[in-house]
Amino acid sequence: MTDYKELVKKAFEAQKSSYSPYSHFKVGAALLSEEGKVYLGCNIENATFTPTNCAERTAFFKAVSEGVKDFTAIAIVGNTDSVEAGSGDYCAPCGVCRQVMAEFCDPETFSIILAKSENDYVVLSLKELLPLGFTNKNLSK
Ligand code: THU
C-alpha cells in the first residue's frame, strides 16, 4: 500500500487554518493531484451557517480554480477540541463532498485517506464511500 504519511502530515497542517468558531470541529484536507502537487483545504464556517464550506471542497475548489482536474488521493483529518494528531476520530467526508469528488475522480482508483495521526489511517476508494453515485456518465447515456 502507498505510504500516505506525508499527505496526512499536510492535512494536519491545513487543519490549523480551520475557521470553525461555531462547531469547533476542525477539519483539514490535503488533495494530491496526478502531477504531484498538493492542495490544502480547511473548513470555513459562517455566522449564517449555510455558506459553510468543508475542508475537502475547499481543497478541490482551490485546485480546480487553478486548472487542475486530475487527482489521485485526498487525506482528511478532523476533530473537535484540538489540532493535536491522534486526538480525534476518523473523519469521513460528507455526502456533498463525496459528490464533488465523484465529479472529478475515478471511483475505482481515487483514494480517500481518513487519518487520526500520521501512523494511524485507513484508505478507502471513492467507490466504497459513494456506491452507485450519479455522475456525468449517467447524463451522457
Ligand atoms: N466538515 C468538514 O469540513 N469535512 C467533513 O468531512 C465533515 C464536516 C466540517 C463542516 C463544519 O464546518 C464542521 O465540520 C462540522 O460539521
Query: Residues 7-39: pLDDT tens digits?
Result: 999 999 999 999 999 999 999 999 999 999 999
Return the ligand 1 atom nearest residue 93 CA: 6
Flag whether pLDDT at 80 surpasses 90.
no
Q: Contact at 8 Å (CB) between 88 and 128?
A: no
Provide the greatest CA pair distance for the chain: 47
Mutate to test the pocket of ligand 1, among 22, 25, 76, 126 (most ligand atoms within 8 A of CB): 25
68 CA to centre of ligand 1 in angstroms = 23
Do the beta carbons of residue 27 and residue 55 sit within 8 Å? yes
- Please tell me whether the overall predicted TM-score, pTM, comes out greater than 0.75 for this model: yes
**Nearest protein Cα to ligand 1, atom 9:** 54
CA of residue 27 to ligand 1 center, whole Å = 6
Spatial separation of the C-alpha atoms in residues 54 and 82, rounded to whole Å: 17
Q: How far apart are CA 119 and CA 42, in angstroms?
A: 21
Per-residue pLDDT of 111-124, as tens digits, reads: 999 999 999 999 99
